[in-house]
Structure 1
Amino acid sequence: MPAIIIPKHEQAQGAFDGGAILESKPIGFPQDGGQIRPYSTLFYWAHAWSDKGGVIGEHPHKGFEIMSFVLTGEIEHYDSKLKGWKKLKAGDVQIIRAGSGITHAEKINDAGSIFQIWFDPDLNKTLSKPASYNDYKADSFPVFEDRESKTKVMVGGTQVSMDSQVDYIQEITFFVSEKIFSLKADSVYSFFVLYGSLNLNGKKVNTGDYAIVKQEVEMKLSSIELNARIFIIKTPIDPGFETYAKMTGISGN
Structure 2
Amino acid sequence: MKTVIHKAEDRGFANHGWLQANHSFSFANYFDKDKIQFGALRVLNDDIIAPKMGFGTHPHDNMEIITIPLKGELKHRDSMHNDWQSVLPGEVQIMSAGTGIQHSEINGSANEHLGLFQIWIMPNKQNVTPRYDQKAFEEADRKNKLQVLVTSIDEDHKGSLKIHQNAVISRIDLEAGKTFEYQLKSDIHGVYMMTVYGEVLVADESLQSRDAVGISETDVFKVNAIADSSLLFIEIPML
Which residue of structure 2 aligns with residue 100 of structure 1?
A: 99
- Superposition deviation, residue 53 in structure 1: 4.8
Amino acid at match of 1:50: I
Aligned residues: 227
Which residue of structure 2 aligns with residue 7 of structure 1?
A: 7
Q: Is the 8 A contact 2:142 2:171 kept in 1?
A: no
Which residue of structure 2 aligns with residue 150 of structure 1?
A: 145
CA 1:53–1:13: 2 relative to 1, 3 Å: farther
Which residue of structure 2 aligns with residue 45 of structure 1?
A: 44
- Superposition deviation, residue 223 in structure 1: 1.4
- Give the CA RMSD over aligned residues: 2.2
Question: Deviations along 1:148-190, whole A, 9 cap, x unmatched?
Answer: x133221242341221121x21111112343333445432011
What TM-score, normalized to structure 2? 0.85
What TM-score, normalized to structure 1? 0.81
Which residue of structure 1 aligns with residue 126 of structure 2?
A: 126
CA distance in 1, matches of 2:43, 2:119: 5
Which residue of structure 2 aligns with residue 170 of structure 1?
A: 170
Q: Which runs of 4+ in 1 moved over 4 A?
A: none
Amino acid at match of 2:231: I
Q: Secondary structure at the match of 1:99?
A: coil
- Superposition deviation, residue 51 in structure 1: 5.1
- Superposition deviation, residue 31 in structure 1: 4.4
CA distance in 2, matches of 1:115, 1:172: 16
CA 1:142–1:6: 2 relative to 1, 3 Å: same
CA distance in 2, matches of 1:93, 1:144: 14
Instruction: Give the unaligned 5+ runs of structure 2.
Output: 152-156
Please say which of residues 27-36 and 105-114 is displaced more in the overlay. Answer: 27-36
Which residue of structure 1 aligns with residue 199 of structure 2?
A: 197
**Bigger share in strand:** 2
Instruction: Give the unaligned 5+ runs of structure 1.
Output: 239-253
State the identity as a percent: 21
CA 1:27–1:44: 2 relative to 1, 3 Å: same
Amino acid at match of 1:190: Y
- Superposition deviation, residue 217 in structure 1: 3.3
- Superposition deviation, residue 144 in structure 1: 5.5
Which residue of structure 2 aligns with residue 219 of structure 1?
A: 221
Q: Secondary structure at the match of 2:9?
A: helix
Which residue of structure 2 aligns with residue 19 of structure 1?
A: 17
Q: Secondary structure at the match of 2:231?
A: strand
CA distance in 2, matches of 1:138, 1:37: 30
Q: Is the 8 A contact 1:28 1:46 kept in 2?
A: no
Q: Secondary structure at the match of 1:208?
A: coil
CA distance in 2, matches of 1:216, 1:5: 16
